Amino acid sequence: MSVPARPKPLFADIEDVSRRLAQTGYLPDTATATAVFLADRLGKPLLVEGPAGVGKTELARAVAQATGSGLVRLQCYEGVDEARALYEWNHAKQILRIQAAHGSNSGSAGGSDWDQTKDDVFSEEFLLSRPLLTAIRRTEPTVLLIDETDKADIEIEGLLLEVLSDFAVTVPELGTITAERAPFVVLTSNATRELSEALKRRCLFLYIDFPSPDLERRILLSRVPELPQHLAEELVRIIGVLRGMQLKKVPSIAETIDWGRTLLALGLDTIDDAVVAQTLGVVLKHQSDQQRASGELRLN
């Protein structure tokens, strides 16, 4: 079974990736733009790994927005199974249909009626599509985001391998459903466990770390354009210091942006120790982290 081809590439070249993602507010570095371009041209899933909060999920959203594609998201978690990821039957509706058929045919022989009912309850009407099947069945451009893959049990990787190999799903009662248009697939991982080598072989790999101070400043100003340049530079500097501490959860890029918006909301034009102490809860969400940061920054 061959993998369905996209009618045409989503991006013209690497520069096109950078430009169009930037238009959505996502500023990729060269490695990220290159990985997105190659995943598109080669028709391979893109496995994006890195610390929480560096923009892995946002990359998939940005690709969808930049290309006018629909975004279908499978959020992985411990215990997610085929019924939640691929499809399941609407059992409640099936039971109602069987009961209705039994009531209307209670006076008949019933053999052929049961055969008809049995076929009926395993028809499209009773099929509940979950994210993987939904993405395969879409005929419009689609970005399939398989988010936090490392949180799922390792057994789910076998299902992902099957789906990502041919972009086809076999439903025993209905036959094989094959994608007319292969989706652009992004898998994300926080590396809380090692993904299987078999799954990795199917994918291109991209590691995203926290951005350089210059890139983070540009990201911040693109999302909070009213923020003065000097405040953006100082805020990014402090964020860098916080990320160098031994914290339970270091500030994400989204929290950097929130901090910038906080300064604007408070009408501040400088950042001093009092301001940092007053607003530390915007970027640090654990009391122990706030205490450590306050001590190391000497805010007490």
Indicate whether 82 and 93 sit together in one domain: no
Structure tokens at 152: 């799922």
Indicate whether 41 and 135 sit together in one domain: yes
Beta strand extents in the chain (DSSP E only): 46-49, 70-75, 87-89, 127-129, 142-147, 168-171, 175-178, 184-189, 204-207
Q: Which CATH number covers residue 134?
A: 3.40.50.300
In a domain, 73, yes or no: yes
Q: Among 126, 145, 175, give the residue marking a domain's end.
A: 126
Indicate whether 217 and 115 sit together in one domain: no
Q: Which residue has the tokens 């009407």?
A: 125
Q: Among 77, 101, 126, give the residue marking a domain's end.
A: 126
Q: Cα(290)–Cα(296) distance, rounded to whole angstroms?
A: 10
In a domain, 225, yes or no: yes
Q: What's the pLDDT score for residue 6? A: 56
Which residues, 6+ apart, have CB-to-CB distance to 39 below 8 Å?
Answer: 45, 46, 184, 185, 186, 204
In a domain, 64, yes or no: yes
Write out the chain's pLDDT in tens, 300 residues: 555 655 589 999 999 999 999 999 999 999 999 999 999 999 999 999 999 899 999 999 999 999 999 999 999 999 888 888 888 877 777 677 777 766 666 555 555 565 566 667 776 777 788 999 999 999 999 999 999 999 998 888 888 998 888 898 888 888 888 888 999 999 999 988 999 999 999 999 999 999 999 999 999 999 999 999 999 999 999 999 999 999 999 999 999 999 999 999 999 989 999 999 999 999 999 999 999 999 998 876
State pTM to two decimals: 0.86
Q: How many structural domains does the chain have? A: 3
Indicate whether 238 and 199 sit together in one domain: no
* Domain carrying residue 122: 88-126
Indicate whether 188 and 76 sit together in one domain: yes
Q: Among 164, 187, 207, give the residue marking a domain's end.
A: 207
Indicate whether 151 and 49 sit together in one domain: yes
In a domain, 2, yes or no: no
Q: Report the relative pairing of strands 87-89 and 127-129 from DSSP bridges.
A: antiparallel
Q: What's the pLDDT score for residue 112? A: 54
Q: What's the pLDDT score for residue 1? A: 53
Contact between residue 97 and residue 121 where contact means Cβ atoms under 8 Å apart: yes
